Amino acid sequence: MRWREVASDERGSSPVEFVLVGSLLTVLTLAVLQLGLAVYVRNVVHDAAVEGAHYAALADTALEEGAERTRLSITRAVGATYAEDIAVAESDRLGHATAVVTVRTTLPIVGLLGIPYAMEVNADAPLETLGEE
């Protein structure tokens, strides 16, 4: 009989339930915030790559200037560590000459710390010309 009384006693269960549920909700909230941060960083890097591609595609600029514009945009928004691997090239994969900006950067996993070079973003822009072709 004594074991039944001990097994049915619920005293002290509220703090344990609070800790279990509270920790689960805290982890879930932090995971959602981290996902939001990762999406934000991806959008910043993508927008910077698009801006750099459009700048590099101008008739009076060099491709390297597009890379520098991309680097500056990323550095201002999320920091210089996210703007270390930027490549600009000329391509014709869209059927005409285009400037292609490729950014390989860190995928944030815990805060802004993450896996280096795990995220790659590309942006294209048609090259302008000054003369008739």
pLDDT at 7 over 80: no
In angstroms, rounded to a whole number, what is the distance separating the alpha carbons of residues 113 and 116? 9
The pTM assigned to this predicted structure is 0.82
Query: Which of 76-85, 88-97, 103-112 bottoms out in mean pLDDT, i.e. has the lowest?
Result: 88-97
**Mean pLDDT across the stretch 89-100?**
89
**Domain extent listing, the chain:** 13-126
Is 81 in contact with 106 (CB distance < 8 Å)?
Answer: yes
pLDDT digits (tens, 9 = 90+) for 69-81: 999 999 999 999 9
Which residues, in sequence order, are CB contacts of 118 under 8 Å at separation 6+? 106, 107
pLDDT digits (tens, 9 = 90+) for 29-58: 999 999 999 999 999 999 999 999 999 999
Q: What confidence score (pLDDT) does residue 15 get? A: 86
Sign of the Cα torsion 21, 24, 29, 30 reads positive
Which residues, in sequence order, are CB contacts of 71 under 8 Å at separation 6+? 52, 83, 86
